[in-house]
Structure 1
Amino acid sequence: MDKIIIRPMTPEDWSTVSRIYVEGIATEYATFQTECPPYTAWDASHTKECRLVILSGGVLAGWCALHRVDPRWCYRGVAEVSIYVGEQFRGHGLGFQLLSALCAAAEKAGYWTLQSTVLQDNAASRALHAKCGFRLVGRRERIARDCHGRWLDTYLMERRAAADEPEGFKKL
């Protein structure tokens, strides 16, 4: 078994992170995005904390990050999850390790709710989130069209922190 390392993402990781993101976009069931933004735009839209990468055998195999769902103060502890595992590394449990680490880091940073929007055809992502303690809180029917014009549903999955005021709550 290859040695697994989870560490904070750095700007130097972007070339591999963006390649993995493009692989996710190509599946047409990981995101509604049709192209990868430049690093500056991606960086501006995601929180500075809770950006992680997973390495398998020294190779960057996946990444995850958070972005705030709403800028208002009352929602400061609520963030949406982005998680992607490289095509050649899928199905080996790396997503579970990465999402578990993200959940722990988010609680340490003070987030009380993590949410994830999962496209209807992404059963693997729904199962991964459920395995990491996310629960299905809703289904949005015919909420968006894919690049082929097909209407799609999304599932909203949510994970609450173990404590009402997680460890880093006061920092937010």
Structure 2
Amino acid sequence: MNYTIEEMKYSDWNEVSKIYLEGINTGIATFQNSIPTFEEWDNGHVKTCRLVAKSNDKVLGFAVLSPTSSRCVYRGVAEVSIYIGENYRGLGIGKALMANLIKLSEENNFWTLQSGIIRENTASIELHKKCGFREIGVREKVAKMDNGVWHDTVLMERRSKIVEFD
């Protein structure tokens, strides 16, 4: 499949939000239970590190960073979110998005990328491992879904070999 990795634009939001909803509906991609407004979503994500995979102007997936803290000592640390449309999973799009997001994060002076992945989301855990992340721990029963089921999250981290720690 031919696709490009591009900077996410406001005009991509409609398709991005649909892919996000597909992730919500899996029950293992996020603890979020509804799609936020664009403004809410926009305020929670790093402006310089937002990517989409597109084929013929159709968004296939997206990868973005969120700040981990407002404290200045964490300015080089960000949380990864990556979602692939259900019809495009397993085609290498996630790996391409992650590789580009890592490169972009380093260009923007992020030295640590982290993810908290619901333990049952083994595909995401494997993707992160393939892209240089390591498991650093598990948070047991950290959040309960609306259906009453508790989930553990696997904490993963990738340290840049390029960006100097300030």
TM-score, scaled to structure 1 = 0.93
Local SS of the residue matching 2:162: coil
**Distance change >3 Å, CA 3–CA 91, structure 1 → 2:** same
Question: How many pairs align?
Answer: 166
Match of 1:83 in 2: 82
Local SS of the residue matching 1:33: coil
Q: Distance between the aligned counterparts of 1:24 and 1:53, measured in 2?
A: 15
Match of 2:154 in 1: 155
Match of 1:130 in 2: 129
Residues 66 and 79 in structure 2, CA contact (< 8 A), matched pair in contact too = yes
TM-score, scaled to structure 2 = 0.96
**Distance change >3 Å, CA 135–CA 72, structure 1 → 2:** same
* 1:11-68, Cα deviation, whole Å (9 max, x unpaired): 0000000000000000000000000100000001101001000013542100011110
Q: Distance between the aligned counterparts of 1:14 and 1:164, measured in 2?
A: 30
* Pairing of 1:39-50 with structure 2 (within 5 A): 39-50=38-49
Quick check: 156-165 or 61-70, which moved more? 156-165
Match of 1:37 in 2: 36
Match of 1:113 in 2: 112
C-alpha RMSD over aligned residues? 1.2
Q: Distance between the aligned counterparts of 1:31 and 1:75, measured in 2?
A: 23
Q: Distance between the aligned counterparts of 1:143 and 1:4, measured in 2?
A: 37
Which amino acid in the other structure matches residue 155 of structure 1? V
Residues 106 and 163 in structure 2, CA contact (< 8 A), matched pair in contact too = no
Q: Does 2:73 match 1:74?
A: yes
Match of 2:3 in 1: 4
Structure 1 runs (4+) deviating above 2 angstroms are: 56-59
Residues 62 and 83 in structure 1, CA contact (< 8 A), matched pair in contact too = yes
Structure 1: give runs of 5+ residues left out of the alignment: none
Q: Distance between the aligned counterparts of 2:108 and 2:101, measured in 1?
A: 10
